[in-house]
Structures are given as C-alpha cells and as structure tokens.
Structure 1
C-alpha cells in the first residue's frame, strides 16, 4: 500500500469532503424545500400556462408567455415541500373505467385533464464563488413524463415514472441573479395497473462537483471472499469535462462502519483529454472481513478519490457489504449458508401519504416485514426508491430488483441500464428481474430475443448477479423461460414440481405466491361494504391460499422459496370487489401496517419467535351459544384451548398449518396455551366493554430537526380495563402543537373514502376495527411537539416528542 500524507489520511478517516484549502469538493444538497405547485390541463393549453401554444422549442431559452419563463409570477401557486404525490390529495372518483378502478379510483389519467398535469417551480441562488464548479439536478422519481427547464433552457424529458434521472445544468446557472427550475409532470398515461401516484414523489438534489469527476453511478464495488480475507474490486469511471486535458490520480479506500481505515488501492495515474472518460479497475484487500448477512447486515464504506497533484478534486462515500450470493437449483446460498426465500411483494404507497414517503417510512415498513420473519422484498414492478434499498442494506433484507417491463428498445434499455447502475452497489440486491407477466411476449420469439438482449446487458453491467423473470405460466418451457437463468413462477404453484422434474438444473422461485384476500378485523363476507373475512379462506381463481403454497415451498429444496402477494395492502387493484372498494385486500398487513390474522400464520413458520395467536375477537353479543370458528396460529407443537377456564381440548399442530375449534359463544375469556420445545406460551381474547380511551403508540419519541424526519403514531381503542376493543369505530380528531406537521392519516379500511390529508381544516379519521394511524413530519426547530387526540365518548389523550439534532441539508459523500 502506498503511504498516505497525514492530512489526506485524516480526511479519509473522518469522511470530510473538502480539499486541503478547506473548500468542498463534492456536495449533494437536499433540494426538497421551497417548491411551488399548480395544476395544468391536458385538454386546454390556456389553462396549461400556454404549453402547446407558445413555441418553446424554436430558439434555445425561449420561454415567454409560459410558466417556464423566469419572470412568470408564481406567487399564487401553492407552496410545498417534496416529496409530493398530488394523487393522494384528490377525492375518490367512481368510474366504470377499469384502469381508473385499478389505480384506486383517483382522478388521474387521460379521463381527467384538470388533475393529470402538474407544474412545479423552484427559485434558488448559487454563489459566484462556485462558478468554476459543475452543477446538476438529480430527481429520484417523478410520475411521470417529466420535462425540466432551468432559467428557460430545456434539459430534456424523463418518461419513466420510477427510474430517477440527473441533468447537468452548469451552462444555464446564473451566479448573479435568481435561478428558476420548472418541471412539467404529465400523468395522463399510466404505466402500471395499480396506484402509481403523481408528481415529484421522491427526493430531489442539487449536485456540485469538479470538472474532473466520477460519472453518475460510475463507481461499481463488489467483492470476492477467500478464506480469511476479501478482495474488494472497484471499477471507477472518471470523466474530464474541463476545456483542456489533465493528469489525475485515482485511488480507493475502504473504511469500516465507524470510519476506521482498513485498506487502500494503489493510486493509478490517468491522463484525460477534454471530454474524455475512462474506467479504472482497482482492488483493496480486507483481512478478516465482517460479512453482510440478514442477521448481521454489516456495511463498509468505500471512498474513491480523484486527485490533481496533492489536491483532492472529487470524492464519494459508498456504503457496501462484503458477501457472497449463489443461486443454485437447490437453493439460495448467502455466504455459503442456505437461505429459504421468505419474501413479500410490495408496491410503494402507504396509508395517508400515497407514494410520497419520507425516508423514515422505508425503514419503518422494512422493520415491520422483518418482525414478521420475512427476509426478502420484491420491488413490484418497478425501480425502487434509493432509500428503500438503503433500509434493506441497513436492516438485512434481501431484494429482488425489477425492471418496469420487458423491452429492449433504446428507451427501455436506458431505463434498465440506469436501474442496474443505480442499485448494483447495494448488498441487499441478490437478484435482478427483467419483467413480469408479459402476456404478449413471454412465449414467443419476440420475448425470447428481448430477454436475451436484456440478460446480456445485465451481465455486462453486473457480472456478480443473475436474473429471473416473473412468469404467470405453468409447466411451460418456451420463449423467455428458455433463456432466463432463474425460472420465476407467478402462482401455478402445483406445476412447480412437474417443471422441476423436466428441468432439474434450472433454479425455481415463487415470484408471486399466495394472494389470500382478507380485511383486517372482518369475519363475514360483506358485499355491501366490499369486505372479505380476515382468515386464510378466500383467494382469486388464479391465486392460492397461504397454506396451499407455503408447505410446498417449505418442504422442497428445489423451491428457492417465494414472495407473497403482498406484504402490505396497497391502493388500487380492488379484489374481489369494485366500488366502494378502492384498495387491495392482498396484504399480510393492511395499508397502515397493522397485522391481519394471516400475518401470524407466516410469523409462526418464518420466524424463530414463540408465536401463538387467537382469532377472531371475542365480542359477539347476540350470538350467544352459536358456534364460532376459532383459529389458532402458532408454532407450538401442541395447543390447548380454554373458554372461561374450561378446556376445549388439546391438539397437535401440523407443520406449516393452523388449528381450529368450533366454540359456542359465551362472553368471557378465550385462552390458548401452547408448548414449544418444552416452553409454555399463551395468549387470550376477552369480551370487552365499549371503548373508553385510546392507547397511543409512537414508533419513536425523538425526531431530527431536519424538516424531513417522520414518526408513525398508531392508535388502539381500549376499554376501562385496558383491553383492546376490536370493533370500535369512533371518529378521532388530531391536534398538533410545535414545529412539526401531520402529513397523512389512515386506518386500513379498503373501502374508506375519507380524506388522507387535510390541506386546510381539522385533521380527523375514524377508527377501523379499533385502530387508526397518523404520520407526523418534523420541522427544523428543536423543541417539543405534542399530539393530542380527542373523540366523543373517549378520554382525551396525548403523546409528546422531542425534536433535536442538526438541521443540515447537505450530504457530503
């Protein structure tokens, strides 16, 4: 290893992103604040700020008479902070159109010209001292078809609603006057068949860096573990966008999670002409590496550096994990250990906030899935937000990362390449997916050729992983299935064994399994309110119940495992009903993350926890002496059920199943006692009084004063004895004091048409079967925040939070 000068070593150890003169060499500045928003109109150019009338593209920078013009007065536009999903703010719209139904009955799409075009503007200034730097705007996700201008100069269009994009704005920056970004978002065309949101719904950033720099997503880090050490391979693409050729040095350092120096690659000299780029390949040896795993997700830091002489001119910090992944016909092996995939499919929306999730929500949702025992997440069916993968890296969740659709045209190949480059450094990503249920192409020669092109490009960009494709086909070896390395099954679970027999060397993965439909806390089919019973008894014709697919996957090594459809309820795709149902019933948890009963089936067989759970609730006034079917989900070997102290019998628990008793209803206490590996575990359900108060359960009590941190507060109705009242439906009002704001409310009711947020007026939400939820976002001032909840007939209750910490909005990578 080459010796490091003392001041450079200090810079590496402490992660500073400045050169020897104290100047910043690279900044990534959060650009979420200070935006203006207004609806346009897809049918009326006058209401669309003359877009389509004014000849914007005749001359560069020409923007007069439009909202693109810097002189345009946007004072009356709505002020907001990103991320922003305008669709979740709109009322529901009953429609016979199937696409509107599948998108959750929100008035977005070609049928709704007044609410399907959104304009965004942001004013900002840049100091003239930075006039020698390069600048770029990074958008992590806009739904969809976004056109971007800076100071009237057109930067281009990004069609994808999911893959982020970056645009260089160096030539258009005004260092002496105010700059204006304008973004026109066109959501008239859907991409998926589910709720997608609308607007700039992910984070935005201003990037500042040197003319000689690492290109966007141009550093690829991967590793190979041998015996007691690991070789960390670094491929860095460097570009010189200066006006003359220069000589540089490129090196890379590895730090542990605490910033301690581990090793360095040798410096490599490179001469780049103006406009030239080159990829440098280097290696760093790491002795006795701590391997990233589901149980211990250890993350190192890679610090690639460009120097000119002794001066650092660019530097990044990239979190990565050292681990090995092998996908074989007899299983997935992480660091040589067999891992059965216990996964969930998920869309990206959450109750109250739609698709515009604060970063914290990604960690919250992944944490809920981990608690259930899940170890894998499929990004169904599109590029994920970066913070989702950060959460999976940090918490230990494998990821099946999926392309939006199967297409090798220049547009979609570009999206595929950006997806892989953006996500390939994440240790959580163990497998790529090139598409999902492409019925028009999956069995013909078009699909086969497209797949071959995508697979070849995937191997070029990331030779360390392989790919699958999610096919809704039975034992069919034709088209895409002929060439894809890992055969994905969407349902058709009873055909997997036959397919394996015919193709024993091809790994098999359940890419979509299950799809039981349930409504939390409901125990009778209700066609009026569009509810289905909260037990594993109802599935669409094309799907299966939990106990039909999981035993097959659990007991056969030729199943790599599978992904349930879905971990959470999501907006759109109402099944098996239509209006008033506006949300799916597929989730193991509802849209708030409240567990349904099927959650405890999976937790019993997916986790190492002691699990014993009784359903339904035990409030059945008017059904005295009538038989009630009681389910017990547990991983105990035997379970005994008691009613008011009287035994109703002990039963052996079948592997990967549940137990049932028919119990004549009597008010009182229903108790289950289980024995697992010699340990006694128990739970009970009691007949309750009416609700008298609420239990407030915040996900945390300290928030960062950065204007972005968030907290989830869950509410549960209880009676005077503190027992959960599972049938309460009280209307709850919320009042917040301090520097914070409520950004969404929900209750998990898939047929509720209540508002998700309140841009004006009082915040409120009804309990649904005893529960509801509010999401709060911190401000920038340290201090205390108090949430008070009131409801007629319930005691007033409150919870307080501390808002503290830095208000820094720049990430110095």
Structure 2
C-alpha cells in the first residue's frame, strides 16, 4: 500500500531543536458571518442577513411539507494573499446540492449534504481585494445521490441550507492537503494509525500528504509535535526532502510513544498532533488534529477495548433540532453528546448519515464509541446513485479516520436491499481507504463481505430474535431495538400479561404527555429487549432506538420512541439506562456518574401503586411520608436477569398524598437518594436553561433550550399541566425560536433561545394566566 512512500525510522521519544522557525502561515477563520440569503420561491423577497449555520426555513415543531427548493446565499469579503499563498473555502455541509460562484465565475458543483467539500478560490480572487461568493443550494429529491429516497417517503428529514460551518483557510502553496479534497486513496491530509498498542508502548505511523503548487521545486522538512492532555510535548524532525513543482508528495513517519495514555470510554485521553512544514527555516504550513491511542478488537469471545472485554451499550441519534432542523452550533452538537453519555450510554450509531464534525469531536472527548454510517434508508438507486455511494464511503473515511471514537463503519445502506455486487464493492472501497487491521465494516444484511452483522430486532421475531445466531466468529451488534418490534409486530414476551393493553399503550412510541402508565411501558419495553439481547452468545453490543424524538418525512407526527423528547427532556426510560452504568464508574466532573436512584412515578392518586425505582445500588429503601415501605434488592426475573442493574419494584398498599423518597445503599452505606412529591395546585413558573456543561458561544450564534416548568407553590412540576406560556425578551442580543406563546407539555413549555455576540446579559420573562411569572438572566 505504501511502497512508494518515504519512511523515516524516527521515534517520538527523541527531541530535536530547529532554531528560531517563524510562526505558522496557515490561518483558519470562521466564515459564517455577514451572509445574505433568499429563497428562490420568493423572488420579491429582499436579501436577509444571516449567519451560518443556517436553515433554509424555520419549520414547525411537527414538520409537515417541509421546505424543498432552491435557496441563494451570497457574501462580500476582502482578503489579501501573497503570491506564495493559497486560499480555500471549506464547507462542512450543504444540503444537499451546491453550486458555488466566486466573482461571478462558477467554481464547483457538489452533490450530497452530509459530507464536506473544499473550494480553491485562489485563481478567482480579485486583485482589488473586493470579492463576492454566491452559493446556490437545492434540497429537492434526487435519486442520483444519497439518500435518494423522496422526503415524503423517508424516515427522517434533510433540511435545506448551508447548515454546517464554513471556514476560510489561507496557507502556503506548499501545504498539507485536506483529506477529502485531495481525493487520494488512503491518503490526503494526515492519516494516523497505531498498530501495536500496550500499556508500555504504542507504535505506528503518521502519513502526511503535501501539495506543492509552486512552479519551482521546494525543499522542506516536517516537524511533528505531540502534546498529551497534561501539556507535555514531544517533538521530532524529519530529514530534508524535495517536492517537484505542481505535484504532491507523501511522507510516512514511524512513531513510538512510551507509556501511552490510552483512550477509553471512561478515560478518553487525547493527544494533539501538530505537523509543521519547515522551509527556509520558516513554518510555511501547520496542520493539527486531536488523536487517541486505543486498541479496538473483535475476538472469538466478544469485543475488546484496550484488551478489556466489554459489552457495548448505546443508542441511535438523529442530529436535528426542533424548528432549526440541522442548523445548530458546535456547542449544541456537544451538548447532545453530553446527554448521550449522561444517559448511561458509551456508544452512538450515526443514524442514518455522517454527523457533524463537532459531534464526533465531542464523542472523542467524552469517551463515546461510534458507528459511522453511510447515508441511506430503504432506497437503492441506479448506476449513478451507486457511484455516489462509493464516493461517500471514501469521503466519510477520509474525513473521520483519525477519530479514536469510531470503531465500526456502516458501509451499507440501512434497511435497503442492496445487490451483492454493491455490497462487495462498498466493502472493498472502505478497506481501500482504511487498509489497517481492526477497521470493522458493518451491514444490516448478513453478508460475508462485512466484518459484523448489525440487524435490528424487528428483522427477527419473538421469542428468540437474534439470541440463537451462530456464525462461528462472526459477531452481531444489535443496531436497533426497543421500538419497531413493539410497534408493528407488537411482539415482546408479555403478550398474555399485557393483553389488556391497547395497541397505543403497548408501543414504545410515547410522548412525555402520555402519562405514567405508558411511559413505564416504554421503559419496560427497552428493559425487556435489552435483557434479551444479552442472551445472545454472538452479540457484542446494542444500540436502542432512539435517543431523542424526531421528525420524519413520511409521517405527520413526531417519532416518539426517544428516551428523551425532541426538546431533550428525559422520559422514565432515560433513567433506566442511566442506572445500567455501574456506580463504581467515575467520569469527568462535567458528566453524570456514580451512584444514582430515580423514582419513575409522579405520585398522584392515579399513579401506579407498584412503584418502579431505577438504581445502580445494591439495595433501595422506599419511604412514603417518611414511613419505610421496604428496603429491598433488585427485582430479578426473566426480563431483568441479564441486566447490570435490574429495577426495584415496590408494592405500596394505598396512595397517601405527600412524599415518596428512595434511598440507595451500597454495602450498607447510603450513597444516593431521590424524592417525588404529590403535585398540588399550579401556582408559578420556574425557568431554567440547559448548557449540559458547555458554555454559550460568546461570538457566534448558539442555541439553548429554555424550560418553563409549571409548578405548585413548593416547586413540584404539575405533570398534567398544559398552560400556555408567553416568553418575552427585555435585554440581550438573542431571539426566540419556536412557537410563542407555547403550550406546556406534561408541565413544561420549551423554546429555543438563539444567542449571538453574548457580550451582555440576556433577560427573559415567562408569563401565563393565573400563574406567578418568572424572569431569568443569562450571562456569559
């Protein structure tokens, strides 16, 4: 594979001095401000000033007949580059076909909304420094590239606009390339691979791809700087080399790291790798990425991370926000990853497309394993579609191959009857781009071309589902479970027990307003399925369907099998999963970990008297108005016997208004507690906003959920409250996104607050008839 590469057998254990090399020449500037926008369907519309990320149209909470069509973006900008420099504009994602003009000259067309593209603008810039970029964006159905299926028939929505970040990059004509833009097999940019990993040493290679756009040969060397999470630096310099004019060049560096800090789900240690090009004693270009060192292996008896066998527990996620679609900030992406980790998960499947770079960066930093996924759902197109799929596999691999979080690559089209020829070519394409061991390919079709089989439970039937699958060393990862088998098949193992339930009561698709009985049933469905998954000897892990409620093109309602709703408010099932992480696990302080206990009950006269408590403790004591009901161990039966921590079910003889209190004990010591109070008359509004440990961006647009809870005088949320709440801004540079006024659902009314240039405080008031109003102040 790398026979033509130049190997310099140097070690990162050595440190070299380079004299006084000048500062790096590469700049990467957020290019999202000061754009203008209009939709082609409204030609009389004035240009609207917008900031990118941007959605072509704000949609309703439940998206029906979402916008599809052509939009235009334009921006005037100034830039000055020297004769020795290059300038690029990097688009992280445009949905879904983009035509780009620079100074009225068309420079590119890009198809596909989930992967990036780069425009070399150097030849098109005006000498007078006044420039204009125009981007035509279309998100209409197109069967020639992924996902291919019309939105009206699709199980998710793709929202128009330049919805991910845009950057303006300047660097030397001798520079490190962008991996996707270079379009070289298993090359471009930086490609880091550690092959031999143990606690005392990790060794591998860093491949660097350079481009010389000078008309003369360039002499240079590379400087590698590896910095650990404590700031300790190790440096190395390559031998000198020459790059011929207007050609590319690949250098592959052997590396060795002593006593490496391994990346894991509980301790996601990261290194910063910076590579500098030194020419004439100057740093003419510098490129860096965060990397992790970890060993990911599937063995005969299961999945191993850093030689430790683990059963992978995870979820699926769609990247949409209510109203805004896909156009959310990096901070919002990170907050979603925090919520996934806090829910007890250590894995996420990208359903059903490559997610934003910021989300993958968050998974790296938080210790979340990832299945990266090719865009697709129930659609197999013709020759051009298939060619586009192969290119997307290459672009996905090139963009994401250095992320330590990614352990599986779904190089298949989800729930699609792919041809044998396509599956063979898809895996061949992936392996060409990822030629090293332990880059595992995955498909929902059980096919020998792929490394692992990732069925959904609904593709089998009760009572066995996939527990009897046995293909020798071939392993199963349950890619979806807990929803469809309880929705369409109404399967599961309790048809007799739950025969008295209506179909809508048995399903896992439950809004937060569905009430305790149905929310408990949703949580029980997930519990039952998860417990069953663990009975399969060939199963190495699972991902439930789904983390957050979301919109679908084919259905005029929310898909509500999320363990949190579309506003990221947890349902009972959230706490079931949170209880499955062991109490001994201690995560970063910004994350939730350790002992927990949660009462899945509102404690009203209509509440179940069989009280469910989720906890990772040895024992739980339940009190009603300070009177002990029972102190007991988990309730273990055929539907909980394989769980890490079975729920606790307490039998209360009669309802008494007041307080339920649960206390968790480990080895006899009280370590956690939770209290639920009977709600009284609605009295006031309590306001809060969610940052999930990520501060609001002070410069560029950010968006945070603001929650108005309808409570009684004691602060207890009224779980049946549907009051209409009106939000009003009195100070601050922000806007309210969403319905306003908005009706509360299950006692909580939610808006999105979109901020910009948060230099001063934001003051937000919430009012509702016959309730005490509230005001909240948001500062930097």
Quote the residue 2:441 is aligned against.
467
Quote the residue 1:721 is aligned against.
714
Quote the residue 1:325 is aligned against.
296
The Cα shift of 1:308 comes to 1.5
> For residues 239-295 of structure 1, what are the alpha-carbon distances to aligned partners after superposition, in whole Å with 9 as ceiling and x for unaligned?
11122322222232212235432232x413332222211211002332222111111
Partners of 1:459 and 1:466 within 8 A in 2: no
The Cα shift of 1:696 comes to 2.6
Partners of 1:536 and 1:598 within 8 A in 2: no
200, 204, 216: which one aligns with 2:162 = 200
Q: Give runs of aligned pairs for residues 614-629 of structure 1, distance below 5 A.
A: 614-620=599-605
The Cα shift of 1:177 comes to 4.6
Partners of 1:742 and 1:774 within 8 A in 2: no
Cα gap change, 1:182/1:663 in structure 2, threshold over 3 Å: closer, same or farther? Answer: farther
The Cα shift of 1:603 comes to 1.5
Partners of 2:703 and 2:755 within 8 A in 1: yes
TM-score (norm 1): 0.79
The Cα shift of 1:37 comes to 1.1
Quote the residue 1:550 is aligned against.
530
Does the alignment pair 1:783 with 2:760? yes
> For residues 365-408 of structure 1, what are the alpha-carbon distances to aligned partners after superposition, in whole Å with 9 as ceiling and x for unaligned?
11111111100111111111110011111111111111114888
Does the alignment pair 1:280 with 2:257? no
Quote the residue 1:483 is aligned against.
449
Does the alignment pair 1:508 with 2:476? yes
Cα gap change, 1:573/1:338 in structure 2, threshold over 3 Å: closer, same or farther? Answer: farther
2:455 match: secondary structure: strand
**Whole-angstrom distance in 1 between the partners of 2:311 and 2:553:** 29
1:156 match: secondary structure: strand
Partners of 2:35 and 2:51 within 8 A in 1: yes
677, 682, 690: which one aligns with 1:691 = 682
The Cα shift of 1:685 comes to 2.9
Partners of 1:627 and 1:664 within 8 A in 2: no
**Whole-angstrom distance in 2 between the partners of 1:144 and 1:333:** 38
1:535 match: secondary structure: helix
**Whole-angstrom distance in 1 between the partners of 2:43 and 2:159:** 20
Does the alignment pair 1:522 with 2:474? no
Partners of 2:394 and 2:429 within 8 A in 1: no
The Cα shift of 1:777 comes to 4.2
Q: Give runs of aligned pairs for residues 98-247 of structure 1, distance below 5 A.
A: 104-109=63-68, 116-127=69-80, 129-189=81-141, 191=147, 192-217=154-179, 218-223=189-194, 224-247=196-219
2:255 match: secondary structure: strand
506, 520, 535: which one aligns with 1:535 = 520
**Whole-angstrom distance in 1 between the partners of 2:465 and 2:35:** 52
Partners of 2:697 and 2:758 within 8 A in 1: no
Quote the residue 1:38 is aligned against.
38
234, 240, 253: which one aligns with 1:269 = 240
**Whole-angstrom distance in 1 between the partners of 2:413 and 2:564:** 23
Partners of 2:467 and 2:533 within 8 A in 1: no
Does the alignment pair 1:595 with 2:588? no
1:483 match: secondary structure: coil
Does the alignment pair 1:256 with 2:228? yes
Cα gap change, 1:458/1:562 in structure 2, threshold over 3 Å: closer, same or farther? Answer: farther
Partners of 1:573 and 1:583 within 8 A in 2: no
Quote the residue 1:290 is aligned against.
261
The Cα shift of 1:212 comes to 0.8
**Whole-angstrom distance in 1 between the partners of 2:422 and 2:468:** 23
**Whole-angstrom distance in 2 between the partners of 1:514 and 1:641:** 29
Cα gap change, 1:584/1:596 in structure 2, threshold over 3 Å: closer, same or farther? Answer: same
What residue ranges of structure 2 are gaps of 5+ in the alignment?
Answer: 1-13, 148-153, 180-188, 484-507, 584-593
Cα gap change, 1:720/1:452 in structure 2, threshold over 3 Å: closer, same or farther? Answer: closer
Quote the residue 2:614 is aligned against.
633
**Whole-angstrom distance in 2 between the partners of 1:383 and 1:572:** 18
Quote the residue 1:90 is aligned against.
59
Cα gap change, 1:188/1:627 in structure 2, threshold over 3 Å: closer, same or farther? Answer: closer
Cα gap change, 1:138/1:667 in structure 2, threshold over 3 Å: closer, same or farther? Answer: same
**Whole-angstrom distance in 1 between the partners of 2:43 and 2:242:** 49
> For residues 730-789 of structure 1, what are the alpha-carbon distances to aligned partners after superposition, in whole Å with 9 as ceiling and x for unaligned?
2222233444313534xxxxxxxxx3xxxxxxx432221112334434433633332222
**Whole-angstrom distance in 2 between the partners of 1:627 and 1:696:** 29
Does the alignment pair 1:384 with 2:355? yes
Cα gap change, 1:717/1:329 in structure 2, threshold over 3 Å: closer, same or farther? Answer: farther
**Whole-angstrom distance in 2 between the partners of 1:583 and 1:329:** 41
The Cα shift of 1:495 comes to 3.7
Cα gap change, 1:337/1:304 in structure 2, threshold over 3 Å: closer, same or farther? Answer: same
TM-score (norm 2): 0.82
Does the alignment pair 1:79 with 2:70? no
